[in-house]
Amino acid sequence: MPVLLHDTMTRETLPLLPRRADGTYGMYCCGPTVYGPAHIGNFRTFVLQDTLRRVLETEGLRVRHIRNITDVDDKTIRGAQAAGKTLAEFTRGWTEKFHRDCAALNLLVPHVEPGAVAHIPQQVRMIEALVARGHAYVAKDGSVYFKVCSCPDYGKLSHLDRSRLATQSTNSAGEANDADEYDRESAADFALWKARKPEDGANFWPSPWGEGRPGWHIECSAMSLEHLGATFDLHAGGVDLCFPHHENEIAQSECATGVKGFAAHWFHSAHLMVEGAKMSKSLGNLFTLDDLAAKGWSPMEVRWALLAGHYRSPLNFTFKGLEDARSALAKLERAADALLAAAGFSRAEFAPPSVNETQVTWGRFAAAWERLRDDLNVPGALGEAFKALAAPAADAAQARQDVAGLARLLHALGILPFQERPALAVPEAVAALAARRWEAKQARDFAAADRLRAEIAAAGWTMLDRKDGYDLRPS
Ligand SMILES: [Zn+2]
């Protein structure tokens, strides 16, 4: 059964099937602009894209995942200058930080992570093709603009009313564009190549139109063509990229190659709010993973909180939501421990499915998987999973099937259970009692073990046994 997903272009929920003869499923995701740490709004988008890839792979598709790095634009150039570094040094540092955060959130590494600077020749070639085909023009200062009126179906992705199309006013950081207003034939036209300006410093490259640098939109068109071809299966990004960025990508790509159907499917995730407010620097709510770690939240709890809510609805990220994520994750781990005990397995045997596994076992998690497969309904899937976990497994055979099904489901969600979390402050006396009780139990001195358990309970703690150890939590 194919995975189903809502498509922004057709506004329909459609099956995701590879179009290439070799069966690979090409997925292009707009990546970060590396001028600082990514915030949770960025990460919600990347976590959802990662989850979609995992679901497709769980369904058996061979995904080719491309996610670009924007390493040249106004923000990166200004940031490098302020830091007294070269653009390459500055963006390398922030790219590495992004990779560390992605690893902490258990994001799979894309198959290719192309950078804009490394693809300037490809961008220049695409702009040349656009000029040659009459879709772009060179301004007096050597900048090149895309001629929006040359593209009759411009606006088809965001269902834009073309008569109201006023201006291309934002850059990759959502800020107003600078001087490229002046030489444009129409306010709707957007920059493909920006002529060199003194404030660019050493950051300029040669082109047939003089020295300068590419505009932002062209990089994704050039890099998706390079790594996936003129048409591919799925393009993803946050909803804020739908217009103008993705609209411009379609126009550039289809006009440059002459091939319609740039991306077969468009996947956009809704906005993230923080405590009911729009994220902004002035409100101080652009939380990074480090900000949340400093407040005691683990990356897995953050991933869970970012996934809680359907991707098509705006998510209100709150500290109450993080607390809910913490208790849901702990509840899931307790239930998983009980299943493992019933199956006679240790935690080490709670492994994600092997790629070569032919026999798909969902146990009592088939309904949860159905929800996930149908338009990436994570809240629905988690609801079904907890419903299944509410009753104990009937016997060891069922418990073993359930362990396989739950491990597969959590792998598809990218949730790693049993991770180290900021330790609970267990009083030393309680920890000592627990260690003595564990020893007594190993020595099969059950009377002593029971007495010690009662002492631990009297101190306000509960000891939860596993096959290979124990946990303590406040009772
Ligand atoms: Zn893009």
Question: CB of 430 within 8 A of CB of 444?
Answer: no
Q: How many domains does the chain have?
A: 3
More confident position, 280 or 379: 379
SS3 category, 107 = coil
Side-chain half-sphere exposure of 252, counting CA atoms within 13 A: 33
Q: Is 275 helix (H, G, I), strand (E, B) or coil?
A: coil
- Band (423; pLDDT cuts 50, 70, 90): low
On the question of pLDDT at 263 being above 60, the answer is yes
Any idea which of 91-100, 152-161, 225-234, 246-255 has the lowest mean pLDDT? 152-161
- Cα distances from 330 to residues 104, 333, 337, 471, 473, in angstroms, run 18, 5, 10, 11, 10
Q: What CA–CA distances, in Å, run from 471 to 326, 348, 406, 407, 431?
A: 15, 16, 21, 21, 10
Residue 58: which residues within 8 A CB-CB, separation 6 or more?
353, 369, 408, 411, 412
pLDDT at 173 over 80: no
How far is ligand 1, taken at its centre, from the CA of residue 273, in Å? 22
d(CA 119, ligand 1 centre) in Å? 14
What's the rounded Cα separation, in Å, for the pair 102 and 111?
Answer: 14
Q: How far is the CA of 116 from the centre of ligand 1 (A)?
A: 11
Query: Which CATH number characterizes residue 69's domain?
Result: 3.40.50.620
Span from the CA of 173 to the centroid of ligand 1 (angstroms): 12
Among residues 234, 269, 304, the one where a domain terminates is: 269
Mean pLDDT, residues 255-276: 96
- 3-class state of residue 14 by DSSP: strand
Reported pTM: 0.87
Q: For residue 220, how far is its CA from the centre of ligand 1 (angstroms)?
A: 5
With both helix axes pointing from N to C terminus, report the angle between 120-132 and 217-228 in degrees, rounded to the nearest 10: 100
Domain boundary among 226, 242, 269: 269
Are 68 and 137 in a shared domain?
yes
Q: Does 444 lie in the same domain as 408?
A: no
Does residue 265 sit in the same domain as residue 318?
no
How far, in Å, from the CA of 38 to the mean position of ligand 1? 16
Looking at the predicted structure, is the pLDDT value of residue 474 above 70? no
How many Å lie between the centroid of ligand 1 and the Cα of residue 205? 21
How many angstroms does the Cα of residue 451 sit away from the middle of ligand 1?
63
Per-residue confidence (pLDDT) for residue 360, from 0 to 100: 76
Quick one: what percent of the chain has pLDDT higher than 90?
81
Distance (Å, whole) CA 158 – CA 343: 51
CA of 468 to the centre of ligand 1 (A): 47
Strands 144-146 and 136-138: antiparallel
Q: Would you say residue 89 lies in a domain?
A: yes
- Claim to verify: residue 178 and residue 295 sit in the same structural domain: no
Indicate the average pLDDT of the chain.
92
Span 25-46, average pLDDT: 98
pLDDT score of 179:
45
Cα(378) to centroid of ligand 1, in Å?
25
pLDDT above 90 for 134: yes
Using the mean position of ligand 1's atoms as its centre, give its distance from the Cα of residue 245 in Å. 6
Coil, strand or helix at 323? helix
How far is the centre of ligand 1, averaged over its atoms, from the C-alpha of 225 (Å)?
A: 12
Residue 180 is predicted with a pLDDT of: 47
Q: Ligand 1 centroid vs 342 CA: distance in angstroms?
A: 48
Instruction: Report the separation in Å between the CA atom of 99 and the middle of ligand 1, taken as the mean of its atom positions.
Output: 18
Least confident span in 160-169, 337-346, 423-432, 454-463: 160-169
In this predicted structure, the answer to whether residue 464 has a pLDDT above a threshold of 50 is yes
pLDDT single digits (tens) 87-112? 999 999 999 999 999 999 999 999 99
384 Cβ contact partners less than 8 Å away, ≥ 6 residues apart? 365, 367, 368, 370, 371
**CA 32 to centroid of ligand 1, rounded, Å:** 9
pLDDT of res. 91:
98
Q: What's the CA-to-centroid distance between 218 and ligand 1, angstroms?
A: 8
Give CA–CA dist 51/428, Å, rounded: 40
Q: Per-residue pLDDT averaged across 402-418, rounded?
A: 95
Distance 242 CA to ligand 1 centre (A): 9
When pLDDT is averaged across residues 242-251 and rounded to a whole number, the result is 96
Is residue 224 predicted with pLDDT exceeding 70?
A: yes
Domain assignment present for residue 422? The answer is no
Helix axes 378-389, 319-343, angle to 10 degrees: 40
User: What CA–CA distance (Å, rounded) separates 408 from 221?
Assistant: 35
Are 157 and 259 in the same domain? Answer: yes
Q: What is the DSSP letter of 180?
A: G
Task: Specify whether 374 is located in the same domain as 437.
Answer: no
Q: Residues 109, 231: one domain?
A: yes
Same domain, 353 and 256: no
Q: Is the pLDDT of residue 203 over 50?
A: yes
Do 94 and 157 lie in one domain? The reply is: yes
Beta bridge partners of 3: 16
Q: Are 286 and 324 members of one domain? A: yes
Distance 134 CA to ligand 1 centre (A): 23
Question: Whole-angstrom Cα distance, residue 192 to residue 207?
Answer: 12
The answer to the question of residue 77 being in a domain is yes
- Name the strands in the sheet holding 144-146, side by side, starting at the edge strand that comes first in the sequence: 136-138, 144-146, 190-195, 212-214
Statement: residue 446 has pLDDT above 80: yes
Cα–ligand 1 centroid distance for 159 (angstroms): 19
Q: What are 301's two structure tokens?
A: 């709890």
Number of C-beta neighbours around residue 38 at 10 A: 21
Residue 471 has pLDDT above 90, yes or no: no
Domain for residue 420, yes or no? no
Determine, yes or no, domain membership for 31.
yes
pLDDT at 215 over 60: yes
Final residue belonging to a domain, choices 225, 240, 269:
269
Identify residues whose C-beta is under 5 A from ligand 1, the ion. Answer: 30, 220
CA–centroid distance, residue 142 to ligand 1 (Å): 24
Residue 227 Cα to ligand 1 midpoint, Å, equals 14
Residue from 190, 155, 156 nearest 171 by CA: 190
Does residue 62 fall inside a structural domain?
yes
Range of the domain at 215: 3-269
Q: How far does residue 9's CA lie from ligand 1's centre (Å)?
A: 16
Q: Does residue 421 form part of some domain?
A: no
Output the pLDDT for position 428. 87
Specify whether 253 is located in the same domain as 319: no
Q: Is 138 a residue whose pLDDT tops 50?
A: yes
CA of 69 to the centre of ligand 1 (A): 9
> 235 alpha carbon to ligand 1 midpoint, in Å?
9
Q: How far is the CA of 51 from the centre of ligand 1 (A)?
A: 19
| Distance from residue 31's CA to the centre of ligand 1 (Å) | 7
* Confidence (pLDDT) at 281: 85
Q: What is the per-residue pLDDT across 312-369, written as a single tens digit (0 to 9) for each?
A: 999 999 999 999 999 999 999 999 999 999 999 999 888 876 655 657 789 999 999 9
Q: Is the pLDDT of residue 175 over 60?
A: no
In-domain check, residue 419: no
Distance between Cα 172 and ligand 1 center (Å): 9
pLDDT of 466 = 77
Quick one: pLDDT at residue 427?
Answer: 83
pLDDT of 396 reads 94
138 and 83 housed in the same domain: yes
Which amino acid is located at 394 in the chain?
Answer: A
